[in-house]
Amino acid sequence: MPPTVTEPIRKRPTLHDVAARAGVSKSLVSLALRDSPKVSAASRAAILAAAEELGYRPNRTASSLVQQRTHSIGVHILDLHNPVFAEILDGVHEAARRHGYSTLLVTGNADRQTEKQEITRLLESRVEGLILIAHRLSDDDIAAIAAEVPTAVVTWQMDGIARVDSVSGDDRLGMRLGVDHLVTLGHRSIAHLSGGENRISHARRDGYVEAMAAHGLEPRVIPGGFTESQGYRAAHEAASSSQDDPPPTALLVANDLAAIGALAAMRDLGLDVPGDISIVGYDGMRLLEALDITTVAQPLADMGRQAADLLMERIDRLDRPSVHRRVATELRSRGSSGPPPSPRR
Amino acid sequence: MPPTVTEPIRKRPTLHDVAARAGVSKSLVSLALRDSPKVSAASRAAILAAAEELGYRPNRTASSLVQQRTHSIGVHILDLHNPVFAEILDGVHEAARRHGYSTLLVTGNADRQTEKQEITRLLESRVEGLILIAHRLSDDDIAAIAAEVPTAVVTWQMDGIARVDSVSGDDRLGMRLGVDHLVTLGHRSIAHLSGGENRISHARRDGYVEAMAAHGLEPRVIPGGFTESQGYRAAHEAASSSQDDPPPTALLVANDLAAIGALAAMRDLGLDVPGDISIVGYDGMRLLEALDITTVAQPLADMGRQAADLLMERIDRLDRPSVHRRVATELRSRGSSGPPPSPRR
DNA sequence: CATCGGTGTTGGAACGTTCCAACTGTCCCT
DNA sequence: AGGGACAGTTGGAACGTTCCAACACCGATG
């Protein structure tokens, strides 16, 4: 058990101190600590010993300054509460680490203003690249950022912006898979709980409308959002608005988190899932497996990994043309979707 | 729509460039950009204009180096996949921002070795303080870290280590609340799905054993873990081991994520919750509200906020004695717990 | 008219590294 | 004996900022 005495944190030793103790020059210490082959075995041993004894710790800020490189990338994530983003982040971390980069993670808390501020901070910290995992910025904002630093966008296709690469699934296709799945089960009255006013939600909504049209079915979009509570509310509205229309027999929800909320709403309304109503989510986060919810899945970690790989590639070759990678989207059928209650005409 | 031409990222302008353009010295530019009152209105205007025109962006690494301050704290988080940590992080971010600090977030991916590496990185980046949100380090490791930088630990009580503050709930009390709740409902056969081999799990397990003893009941601990899948497996084992003993009528689970897994296991076994078996989680993450799972709740965001506040306080006053803050723990009764199936003797 | 105080402004030193050109040996070759 | 190659080592410049002491200028004051 370490003693409770509070010995003052003294000034950190520098290369200079290590050099003095080892009886060599600071340059040699620098070389030795970076495993240069030009250092003799004797010097190396003395230096390592001295560094150890002093508790030397290299100063990255100084190193970054002189090298004009930070070996770090910035990652901006829309909302840490959504486990989807944690899964994407896994891939980003893995790839960054593999390339010898560390990551600076920030969140904008879904507010455009703080989002910009946080990104500004990253730029001032001189990150060498930027990964935006979902964002609320305009194309112009992105272009301005990319003029300063290579950028990769995840979950949304960017095109035509210099130095911006992107990785995303195919939202229209995904929604078609969802609609097809439900239609195959026999549903004809399928409502879509949208994700609110942002690009991804719009794409998913459009995909839904198209797919419904392709089956000759009437689309019904209920405004919602990407959180459990918004999903809950939208689902509640959709399923209880039964005075005029009959309620839908299936809900295709904008994302997984909202689908969890939708499931909760059905439970509170006393409706059986999938007996009375089917629910399908979107994203494919791990937790949905335990919850047995059908979803349109994307390879999340892989998306993060690919974005980071693209970014590293671009850091090495700034002027490479912009790339978009589209990842496979597939339906994972689980217990929350089944045939509609009574064979509707 | 911005043009696709790839104009090379040219060298970033420095204070010097701004000074030249504004026709003043670099010192004055530095003062003006930091809103010093000693700068004349005319100079200030010229400088701001020049900075704007050049797209000047201050270099934080240089600034940190000379100031010997980074205005940033490091945050280490055990596992980003657990939404509990995102909620704690909210509080940390809020407090850090309020004090004018930015945060560097890293994860160890629940592996002790990489955990140490990541923390080393933070120290090399010269963070001014460290917040550990759950960790796997030994007391000696923590003491060594705290010798370099003020440290605050969340979710675990530290005492007697110099320069380490901590914030946690009361795990023993929490488990007693859980057991009491179930006993009050009429349960006598209550199993605990543990969280694995780590301090928090041990404390919760011990709390459970004590509380059971206080009611004169036989404890039954089933080894598990903190993830959905580990919760699933442990619950499956607990509920299906019915050849010898009768299965328990209630499961008190080590954390919320595992409780979700446990719920899934019951569903797959065809058991009704709470009709056949009750489930109680631990932590109080938001998602459980939607899932209607009873849990022992802690004020997560508040824990993060308090930890950050303590840390800031300590950064200002290094030698303050160590503090531990205990936050309130309370039971949130929801739909996953109810009376046992048949009145057992 | 010399001195003072105050307001703006300035150049240089410092922060802790890395990079570079230059230096010292030592050994080998002609 | 003189030179070249090479391994090992060195001091100084640089990175972009902040801090500090000092300066120039002005009007007011004795």
C-beta separation of A152 from A131 below 8 A? yes
CA quadruple B306, B310, B315, B316: dihedral sign? positive
Residues contacting A202, CB < 8 A, separation 6+: none
What does the pLDDT read at residue A244?
A: 63
Nucleotides of C under 7 A from a protein CB: 7-12, 14-20
Q: What are phi and psi of A120, to 5 degrees?
A: -60, -45
What does the pLDDT read at residue A6?
A: 42
What does the pLDDT read at residue B243?
A: 60
Instruction: Locate A331 and state its tokens.
Output: 């339906």
Nearest CA in chain B to A231: B290
DSSP element (H, E) containing B105: strand B102-107
Partner B, chain A 309-328, Cβ-Cβ below 8 Å: 318-319, 322
What does the pLDDT read at residue B108?
A: 77
Q: Tens of pLDDT along A282-301?
A: 999 999 999 999 999 999 99
CA dist., res. B191 & res. A142, Å (int): 53
Residues contacting B285, CB < 8 A, separation 6+: B82, B83, B84, B87, B256, B257, B295, B300
C-beta separation of A224 from A247 below 8 A? no
Whose CA is closest to B297, among B234, B250, B255? B255
Q: Tens of pLDDT along A124-174?
A: 999 999 999 988 899 999 999 999 999 999 999 898 899 999 999 999 999
Please identify which residue in the block is written with the tokens 């390339």: A99
Indicate the length of chain B as a whole number: 345
Quick one: what percent of chain B has pLDDT higher than 90?
A: 86
Q: Where are the alpha helices (DSSP H) in A154-295?
A: 171-185, 199-214, 228-240, 256-268, 287-291
What b/e readout covers B248-278, taking b as 16+ CB neighbours within 10 angstroms? bbbbbbbbbbbbbbbbbbbeeeebebbeebb
Q: Does residue A62 approach strand C to less than 7 Å at its CB?
A: yes
Please identify which residue in the block is written with the tokens 């340059």: A27
Instruction: Locate B286 and state its tokens.
Output: 């938001």
What does the pLDDT read at residue B160?
A: 83
CB contacts, 8 Å: B229 with chain A: 290
CB contacts, 8 Å: B3 with chain A: 162
Bridge partners of A104, per DSSP, are A74
What does the pLDDT read at residue B279?
A: 98
> What radius of gyration do chain A's Cα atoms show?
26
CA dist., res. A221 & res. A36, Å (int): 63
CA dist., res. B40 & res. A83, Å (int): 51
Averaged pLDDT, B181-195? 97
CB contacts, 8 Å: B319 with chain A: 6, 8
Q: Tens of pLDDT along A211-253?
A: 999 999 999 999 999 999 999 999 999 998 666 678 999 999 9
Please identify which residue in the block is written with the tokens 């303590």: B310
Q: Tens of pLDDT along B20-29?
A: 999 999 999 9
Bridge partners of A272, per DSSP, are none
* Three-state secondary-structure class, residue A223: coil
Q: Tens of pLDDT along B287-315?
A: 999 999 999 999 999 999 999 999 999 99
* Three-state secondary-structure class, residue B257: helix
Q: How many angstroms is C1' of D3 away from CA of A50?
A: 39
The letter for the amino acid at B89 is L
Q: Does residue B11 approach strand C to less than 7 Å at its CB?
A: no
> Which B residues between 61 and 100 have a beta carbon under 7 A from any strand D atom?
62-63, 65-67
- Across the interface, whether the CB atoms of B65 and A60 are under 8 A apart is answered no
Q: For residue A7, what pLDDT band results from cuts at 50, 70 and 90?
A: very low
Residues contacting A10, CB < 8 A, separation 6+: none
CB pairs under 8 A between A and B: 159
Averaged pLDDT, B253-272? 95
The pLDDT of residue B6 is above 50: no
Average confidence score pLDDT of chain A: 92
Averaged pLDDT, B211-224? 97
Q: How many angstroms is C1' of C17 away from CA of A50?
A: 18
Instruction: Locate A236 and state its tokens.
Output: 């509640």
Determine how many CB atoms are found less than 10 A away from the CB of residue B207.
Answer: 24
Q: For residue B10, what pLDDT band results from cuts at 50, 70 and 90?
A: low
Q: Does residue B254 approach strand C to less than 7 Å at its CB?
A: no
Averaged pLDDT, A192-213? 96
Partner A, chain B 242-271, Cβ-Cβ below 8 Å: 260-261, 263-264, 267
Instruction: Locate B149 and state its tokens.
Output: 């930088």
Q: Does residue B11 approach strand D to less than 7 Å at its CB?
A: yes
C-beta separation of A255 from A296 below 8 A? no
Per DSSP, A73 falls in state E
Select the residue of B64, B86, B335 nearest A80 (Cβ to Cβ): B86
CA dist., res. A210 & res. B104, Å (int): 43
Reported in sequence order, the residue ranges of chain A that DSSP labels E, i.e. its strands, are 72-77, 102-107, 130-133, 151-154, 164-168, 190-193, 220-222, 250-253, 278-283, 294-297, 324-326, 330-332
The pLDDT of residue B107 is above 50: yes
C-beta separation of B295 from B282 below 8 A? yes
Q: Tens of pLDDT along A36-88?
A: 999 999 999 999 999 999 999 999 999 999 999 999 999 999 889 999 999 99
Q: Tens of pLDDT along B126-163?
A: 999 999 998 889 999 999 999 999 999 999 989 889 99
Nearest CA in chain B to A55: B148
Whose CA is closest to B11, among B54, B44, B53? B54
- Across the interface, whether the CB atoms of A162 and B62 are under 8 A apart is answered no
Average confidence score pLDDT of chain B: 92
Q: Tens of pLDDT along B51-83?
A: 999 999 999 999 999 999 999 999 999 889 999
The pLDDT of residue A5 is above 70: no
The pLDDT of residue A28 is above 50: yes
Q: For residue B244, what pLDDT band results from cuts at 50, 70 and 90?
A: low
CA dist., res. B288 & res. B225, Å (int): 18
CA dist., res. A207 & res. A212, Å (int): 9
- Across the interface, whether the CB atoms of A261 and B125 are under 8 A apart is answered no
Q: How many angstroms is C1' of C21 away from CA of B21?
A: 34
Burial of A204 (0-12, 13-18, 19+ CB in 10 A): buried
CA dist., res. B118 & res. B112, Å (int): 10
Instruction: Locate B177 and state its tokens.
Output: 């609340």
What does the pLDDT read at residue B9?
A: 53
CA dist., res. B78 & res. B104, Å (int): 14
Averaged pLDDT, B171-195? 97
* Three-state secondary-structure class, residue B234: helix
Whose CA is closest to B136, among B79, B90, B175, B91? B79
Instruction: Locate A129 and state its tokens.
Output: 């690249």
CA dist., res. B57 & res. B37, Å (int): 21
Instruction: Locate B161 and state its tokens.
Output: 């280590």
What is the DSSP track for A14-27? -HHHHHHHHTS-HH
Whose CA is closest to B307, among B157, B145, B195? B157
Averaged pLDDT, B270-280? 95
Determine how many CB atoms are found less than 10 A away from the CB of residue B8.
Answer: 7
Terminal CA-CA length for chain A? 75
Q: How many angstroms is C1' of C19 away from CA of B141?
A: 36
CB contacts, 8 Å: B12 with chain A: 148
Residues contacting A273, CB < 8 A, separation 6+: A263, A266, A267, A279, A336
- Across the interface, whether the CB atoms of B1 and A139 are under 8 A apart is answered yes
Structural domains in chain A?
Answer: 15-58 (1.10.260.40), 70-170+300-328 (3.40.50.2300), 171-299 (3.40.50.2300)
CA dist., res. A228 & res. A262, Å (int): 7
Averaged pLDDT, B93-102? 94
Instruction: Locate A337 and state its tokens.
Output: 């979707």
- Across the interface, whether the CB atoms of B57 and A123 are under 8 A apart is answered yes
Which nt has its C1' nearest the CA of A47?
A: D9
Averaged pLDDT, B207-212? 98
Torsion of CA A256, A257, A263, A268, to 10 degrees: -170
Averaged pLDDT, A257-271? 95
Query: Do you find a cis peptide bond into A274, omega within 30 degrees of 0?
Result: yes
Per DSSP, A322 falls in state P
The pLDDT of residue A4 is above 70: no
